[in-house]
Amino acid sequence: MKKLLSLSILLLLASFAFSSLIDDIVSSYASQVIEGHRVVVEQDGSTTKIRYENILRNGYNEIVKIVAPQRFEWSHIGKKTYIVFGNEMKLSPATIVDAEQSFIKDISIASTIVSTSTTYYHGMKSCKLVIKTPNATYIAVVLEPSLIIGYLKIERKKGSITIDYDRINVVPLSYFNAVIGRFKIIEKPPSPMEIYVWKLVSKLDNVNVTSISINNISIAIVSGKTEFNKRIVAYVFQSGDNISTGDLVAQFKLKGFTALTIERDDVNVVLATKMKMKQLKEWVNTVFK
């Protein structure tokens, strides 16, 4: 009986210790001010995508600059997501979620630490944790004693995401505030046309966006590769503009492309590709659902 009681007490103490560690990681994350460079690898089936990012973060507020393979900059400030254009931050047409913040949110709600061990990360003493939640399994390496995340792997049924920092520096809050102060934050909601351009961009690889003006009519041309490795081009413009969608589709078809047009929310989107029509329609449904 005494042995069982002792074992129960030890398990209870271990449970409290693990719970305290999770609380410490969550509270520490909220107060950290860091800048760094990280490599993000996303795996989905046989598809692997790699990004190189610079990040400046104050708790949950952050600016993330993707430097390769395609340049893109976004920020999360005061629970809102913005796209960065030069010295302006414009409200994003859709919420962008940082995998690190998903990890912090997930483990703070319901989580179980499967194991902890001491390790060294780039020569710095660290703690390696394996944490299970209802949504994912996380393998995290946090630096000691700061509890800054140096490495994070998120494993889900559909694939995995790995974040690996090769540089992390603690910076003053004044530095973060000075950087943010250089930007003009624009709270105007994105237009329907901007939203549809974003829907396309978010579903394409090697994407390129060009804006042209013909007779004072603004047209966004979005091109990139689908998950089927098929090239696609989309012309996006306001409905009612003096542009014939039928003529555009006919021109593409004459050149041997599969083409169609959709009209939603007073926005026309004309798409051309070498995909079969059935496959194109299925892809369009996933993009504009």
Q: What is the pLDDT of residues 177-214, one digit of tens each?
A: 999 999 999 999 998 999 999 999 888 888 888 888 87
State the pLDDT confidence band at 45, using cuts at 50, 70 and 90. Answer: confident
Of the two residues 65 and 215, the one the predictor is more confident about is 65
Alpha helices in the chain, H assignment, sequence order = 2-31, 99-109, 173-181, 192-201, 245-254, 277-287
pLDDT tens track for 80-100:
999 999 999 999 988 899 999
State the pLDDT confidence band at 19, using cuts at 50, 70 and 90. Answer: low
pLDDT tens track for 242-281:
778 888 899 999 999 999 999 988 899 999 999 999 999 9
Tell me the pLDDT of the chain averaged across its residues: 88
> In angstroms, rounded to a whole number, what is the distance separating the alpha carbons of residues 243 and 279?
26
> In angstroms, rounded to a whole number, what is the distance separating the alpha carbons of residues 242 and 58?
47
* Residue extent(s) of CATH 2.50.20.10 domains in the chain: 2-186
**What pLDDT shows up at residue 234?**
93
Tell how strand 217-225 and strand 231-238 pair up. antiparallel
**What pLDDT shows up at residue 18?**
53
**What pLDDT shows up at residue 4?**
44
pTM (2 decimals)? 0.81
Average pLDDT over residues 43-59: 91
State the pLDDT confidence band at 6, using cuts at 50, 70 and 90. Answer: very low
Of the two residues 44 and 7, the one the predictor is more confident about is 44
> Does residue 14 register a pLDDT over 50?
no
> In angstroms, rounded to a whole number, what is the distance separating the alpha carbons of residues 57 and 74?
12
Q: Which CATH number fits domain 2-186: 2.50.20.10, 1.20.1600.10, 3.30.70.360, 2.40.30.10?
A: 2.50.20.10
Question: Quick one: which of 238, 241, 258, 240 has its CA closest to 249?
Answer: 258
**What pLDDT shows up at residue 102?**
94
* Residue extent(s) of CATH 3.30.200 domains in the chain: 192-287
Q: Which CATH number fits domain 192-287: 1.20.1050, 3.30.200, 1.25.40, 1.10.3470?
A: 3.30.200
Question: Quick one: which of 91, 95, 100, 88 has its CA closest to 55?
Answer: 100
> Does residue 12 register a pLDDT over 60?
no
Q: Which residues have a Cβ under 8 Å from the Cβ of 129 and sit 6 or more positions away?
A: 21, 113, 115, 116, 138, 139, 140, 141, 142
**What pLDDT shows up at residue 241?**
62
